[in-house]
Amino acid sequence: MHRISKAVIRDDAADKSSGKAKYLSDLRLPGMLYLVVKPADIQHARILNIYIPKLPENYTVITGKDFKGQNRATIIAEDWPFFAEDEVLYYGQPLLAVAGPELDICEELCSKITAEYEGLPAVSTIEEAQDFFNDFHIVKGEPEQAFKNAALTFDNAYRTGMQEQAYMEPQAMIADFQNGMLTVQGSMQCPYYVKNSLMNALALNADKVRVIQTVTGGAFGGKEDFPSILAGQAAAAAIKTGRPVKVVLDRRLDMQLTPKRHPSLIHIRTAVDQEGHITAMDIDCRIDAGAYQTLSAVVLERAIFICTGAYNIKNVHVRGRTMKTNHIPSGAFRGFGGPQAHFAADMNMHFLAHTLGIPPLELKKKYLYRQGDHSVTNGTFRDQIKFNEMIEKIEEASEYSSKWEEYNRKAGSRPYRGVGISFAAHGGAFTGSGEQDIIKSLVRLSAQSAASDEYIVRVLVSNVEMGQGASTTLRKIVAEAMHLPLERIIFNQSDTSEVPDSGPTVASRTIMIVGKLLHDAAKDLLQKIDSGPLPTKEKPIETEKRYVHPQEFEWDESTFTGDAYPGYSWSVNVVEVEVDPLTYVTKVIGSWAVYDVGTPIDIQIVKGQMQGGTAQSLGYAYLEKMEMSNGRPAQLSFTDYTIPTTLDFPDLQCRFIDNPYRLGPYGAKAAGELPNIGPAAAFAAAVSQATGTIITAIPVTPEKLEAELR
């Protein structure tokens, strides 16, 4: 691997580990008010009246009428209101908010506000839903003909549940409106998303809105969409009162009000010919979008573009729909669509192997994508896909095949044991030509003097550090390109008054797209400095780079045809489990993974990402249960919503192969989403072997497993 992969000390490590880092909860502004939201306590209803008690002096009610532009956040689709208008569409939907100088009084006043409703029928499941926001179709090859010629067909359904992002720091914002200028600070992933939403909602020009990302304690996609809602509510309050307004959700309210991972129901019909070859698949993918569309179309696209997983099926028809229900809007979560699609795809292959009497790995290896194959969208995999090398490494680490054979011989022995293997892919960056046509990323580097014979370089991008190590890795790319010590490269929290719009911190695009732009900008900056006088504080030397999509890639958005992503990352996961035959409690006793992420920019940071993502995926597979009761999440705290701890898993082992990506900085490509995609299917395959039943739904709780086996 390149020398850039050598681990360094993270630039945010000292402040975060010592407690010096200032999160939004630590910030205070003179004259600051607090904002408390009043949520609806009904799932679906027409609002007849809202009764507000007489408010003390300096306390104010904020409603949807306080938005001069539109009472809608801009989250791709502009349909999610800051406050309900005539109708409540989900339990917990904000009706209004109270702003005032004392938090406890604001909470007391909210508790006294009541609403009169006319109840309406509620839709609570994907099966019940009749309406949808999106209906997408893709055809590869000739699936209809393949099914006509099939010797066997199989029809199976696979289901995944909700998942809470469980970031350490809850959602939080401060808004301040002074002299016609709105300044919003908050815990977020996408400062320009928030800025654009505020401009539209409050009818403000771009030069009158400033958004600053504060130290952010985790996000995992959960701070991509909802910060626009919270920022809008706080900003409307600040404008109305003329004072700074702060809102920090407590954990229960955060879990009640914020989007989760989309539940999914995926039907797969498979055609097999007389020789036992898989010839076609017909896939119906439905995801629970909730009450508003928001980001659901993007999540659905991810799911259907990778609906056969890492497997090359020659003939495919897929239909995808975002179903409208009376649930809180579903949103972004690490992998967004990939975990749902891969669980269904990999477990369907596991089912086929079991049914056809073939070891799972033997069947899966026959259909793994290879360089030159075509994706579901008829794009071409142009780069090397090193699955053979990855399988060798995973066998060496886990002894998968020997364990699978041993557990097969001992089927029914107590305790029940099993081992499973899965394969996964993640396309880096935005879909198709979205990076060029929609995002249009722009980065800037600014060099200025720091001492008599030295200069520093400031990295100016809107991509944020939220715990994943972006501030360190982006600095490393610039330092390497300019042959400078790392300490002379400066990365600050994103502030839209200082940094250009380089796009959101999502979709594993930060290193692959923005990192490459910074690499190229750094080369240009070094050339400028070498050819002229050194930069000074008064006369800094700057350079910018804007993204240009490689001409070799083609994409038709109207038909979803072509290269959906410029590059793919790949993984192989093996999970070993033990199932208690009396309690049906499952224990993970081994976890191994091999990744192709091109060149890791910092091996320790990337390893941490892989282990953290694996833990999240295993939690998704069997620990994290979120159920809805009349549209209300039954689990609203970390007491009853169980997230994994270090005691739940053995050492989460991971290895990497060297496969530099030709379009990435120093060969790097997408990494952050990938570990969240494959482990759940490997876990389910292991439980399937251990119990002798094919797992078709996650999370695999003891109650569900007992019902299945009994």
For 349-402, write each residue's pLDDT tens digit. Answer: 999 999 999 999 999 999 999 999 999 999 999 999 999 999 999 999 999 999
Instruction: Mark whether 571 and 675 lie in a shared domain.
Output: yes
**Domain termination residue (choose one: 207, 235, 257):** 257
**Is 126 inside a domain boundary?**
no
Residue 528 pLDDT: 95
Q: Identify any residues that bridge with 456 across adjacent strands, giving them in sequence order.
A: 448
Q: Is the pLDDT of residue 189 over 90?
A: yes
Instruction: Mark whether 503 and 414 lie in a shared domain.
Output: no
Give SS3 for 340: helix
Number of domains in the chain: 3
Instruction: Mark whether 112 and 248 lie in a shared domain.
Output: yes
Instruction: Mark whether 196 and 99 lie in a shared domain.
Output: yes
The 10s digit of each residue's pLDDT in 561-616 is 999 999 999 999 999 999 999 999 999 999 999 999 999 999 999 999 999 999 99
Give the sign of the dihedral formed by CA 346, CA 351, CA 352, CA 354.
Answer: positive
Q: Is the pLDDT of residue 475 over 70?
A: yes
Q: What is the mean pLDDT of residues 206-228?
A: 98
Three-state secondary structure readout of 637-706: CCCCCCCCCCCCCCCEEEEECCCCCCCCHHHECCCCCHHHCCHHHHHHHHHHHHHCCCCCEECCCHHHHH
**Is 551 inside a domain boundary?**
no
The 10s digit of each residue's pLDDT in 318-331 is 999 999 999 999 99
Instruction: Mark whether 531 and 634 lie in a shared domain.
Output: no
Cβ atoms 700, 588 nearer than 8 A = no
**Is 316 inside a domain boundary?**
yes
Residue 193 pLDDT: 98
**Domain termination residue (choose one: 257, 277, 303):** 257
Q: What is the mean pLDDT of residues 79-89?
A: 97
Instruction: Mark whether 199 and 306 lie in a shared domain.
Output: no
The 10s digit of each residue's pLDDT in 387-428 is 999 999 999 999 999 999 999 999 888 889 999 999 999 999
Cβ atoms 365, 329 nearer than 8 A = no
Instruction: Mark whether 344 and 330 lie in a shared domain.
Output: yes
**Is 19 inside a domain boundary?**
no
How far is Cα 453 from Cα 438, in angstroms, rounded to an integer? Answer: 42
**Is 610 inside a domain boundary?**
yes
Q: What is the mean pLDDT of residues 87-98?
A: 98
Q: What is the mean pLDDT of residues 331-335?
A: 97
What range defines the domain where residue 107 resides?
30-121+165-257
Instruction: Mark whether 641 and 594 lie in a shared domain.
Output: yes
Q: What is the mean pLDDT of residues 157-179?
A: 98
**Is 422 inside a domain boundary?**
yes
Instruction: Mark whether 444 and 389 lie in a shared domain.
Output: no
Instruction: Mark whether 423 and 454 lie in a shared domain.
Output: no
What pairing do the DSSP bridges indicate for beta strands 442-451 and 454-460?
Answer: antiparallel
Give SS3 for 42: coil
Alpha carbon separation from 263 to 164, 204, 214, 462 (Å, rounded):
11, 36, 31, 31
Instruction: Mark whether 193 and 92 lie in a shared domain.
Output: yes
For residue 488, the domain's CATH number is 3.30.365.10
**Is 14 inside a domain boundary?**
no
DSSP 288: E
Query: H/E element holding 520?
Result: helix 516-530
Residue 452 pLDDT: 67
Cβ atoms 97, 233 nearer than 8 A = yes
Instruction: Mark whether 522 and 637 lie in a shared domain.
Output: no
**Is 4 inside a domain boundary?**
no
**Domain termination residue (choose one: 516, 546, 576):** 546
